[in-house]
A and B are shown apart, each in its own frame.
Chain A
Amino acid sequence: AQTIHQWPVAEIKAVGSPLSLGCTIKGKSSPNLYWYWQATGGTLQQLFYSITVGQVESVVQLNLSASRPKDDQFILSTEKLLLSHSGFYLCAWSRPGGYEQYFGPGTRLTVL
Chain B
Amino acid sequence: GDSVTQTEGLVTLTEGLPVMLNCTYQTIYSNPFLFWYVHYLNESPRLLLKSSTDNKRTEHQGFHATLHKSSSSFHLQKSSAQLSDSALYYCALSEGSGGSNAKLTFGKGTKLSVKS
Contacts and interface: CB of A to CB of B under 8 A. Distances in A.
Given A103-B45, A105-B44, A32 B50 contact: no
Given A99-B33, A99-B94, A99-B96, A44 B106 contact: yes
A103 B88 CA distance: 14
A27 interface: no
Interface in B27-61: 33, 35, 37, 43-47, 50
Contacts of B13: none
A57 B101 contact: yes
Interface size class of A (residues with CB under 8 A): 20 to 34
Interface stretch (A64-72, A74-82, A90-98): A90-98
A99 B50 contact: yes
Interface in A25-48: 32, 42-46
Contacts of B44: 4, 90, 102-106
A92 to B, nearest CB: 8
Given A98-B102, A99-B50, A100-B47, A42 B94 contact: no
A46 B103 contact: yes
Contact of A100 (B50, B96, B100, B108): B50
A105 B43 contact: yes
B20 interface: no
Given A42-B108, A43-B109, A103 B102 contact: no
Nearest to A100: B47
Contacts of B94: 99
Contacts of B33: 99
Given A4-B44, A43-B109, 11 more contacts: A32-B100, A32-B101, A43-B108, A96-B100, A97-B99, A99-B102, A101-B104, A102-B46, A105-B43, A105-B44, A106-B44
